[in-house]
Amino acid sequence: MKHFRIIALLLLIWCLRQFGNAQSETSSPYPESNRDSVLLIKDSIFPKMDFQWMSYQMKIDMTMEEEKLQFQCFVAIRTDSIIYLNLNKSGIELARVVLTPKEVVFVNKMEHKYYQGDYSFFQNIVGIPLDYLMIQSLLLATDFPHFENNFQLTTDDGKLEFISPLRKQNNSDLSIMQSIQIGEKGVIEENDITELKTMRDINVKYDNYVIIENVHFFSKMLIEMETDETIIEAEIKNVKVNRPGPTGIKIPENFEEIIFEK
């Protein structure tokens, strides 16, 4: 059934291309009817979050320039509400992060430091103004729900690729260039993002999907940030759907506040 669905979509793409070729040279290269059809395909095939909670363990190998790090990270997400991250190694907690749509709380247990404030935290750490919904989408292999739907559609080896050279965030001046590749199972296999103001990029690949409680979920993730020479390889296990996870975080009184220069 899934293969029939892909074939039908490929046929529709061919029809859209024939329609585009029939347009006059003075017309818009992306006619309104074409954009509407691409949006219809996107809505019908893109992964959706049909759950309230998702949690999993990550075994991470991280390379930053020439430095190599290994650790684990427990992730618990209540969709559109809270993201809980616990970084640990050999049973020792290294750091804890709790994200809500409006606030970031980061506690560094190793250096006895903390941050509590807005999402400028990620601008200072990775150089890209990530917000809650973007991080949630990257951790769950879904699309950003709060950006324009202005994709162009191409095919490559039977896979669908949604491309936007200029995709703007709703109610913000943030603009990105983005390419999303959908595999035969109707899941996101690659999400390539470039923030156009700084030209910093994040490429995320998802692999080895399995079905857990009727949800397709990846068991491998590869994150590459070429401009920072950073590679993160993660193996995913112990995936749990709709089982509430921890959300708490406490800032010890003797910890030093992290303050970024403006």
SS (H, E, C) 87-147: EEECCEEEEEEEECCCCEEEEECCCCEEEEECCHHHHHHHCCCCCHHHHHHHHHCCCCCCE
29 with 139, same domain? no
Q: 188-195 and 200-207 as β-strands: parallel, antiparallel, unpaired?
A: antiparallel
**Averaged pLDDT in 10-residue chunks for the chain of 262 residues:** 46 44 38 62 78 97 91 98 97 97 97 96 91 97 93 83 94 94 90 95 97 94 89 97 96 96 78
d(CA 148, CA 164): 9
36 with 77, same domain? no
CB atoms within 10 A of CB 40: 11
253 lies in some domain: no
What is the model's pLDDT at position 4?
A: 43
CA angle 86, 213, 235 (to 5 degrees): 40
What is the model's pLDDT at position 49?
A: 86
What is the model's pLDDT at position 35?
A: 63
* Structural element, H or E, at residue 162: strand 159-168
186 lies in some domain: yes
Domain containing residue 22: 2-45
User: Amino acid identity of 19?
Assistant: F
125 lies in some domain: yes
19 with 83, same domain? no
250 lies in some domain: no
32 with 124, same domain? no
Each residue of 59-80: pLDDT tens digit?
Answer: 999 998 889 999 999 999 999 9
Q: Return all residues near 258 (Cβ < 8 A) that are at least 6 apart.
A: 106, 108, 113, 114, 115
The number of distinct structural domains making up the chain is 2
Of 138, 166, 210, 182, give the one whose Cα is nearest residue 43.
182
176 with 58, same domain? yes
This prediction has a pTM of: 0.85
CB 104 within 8 A of CB 97: yes
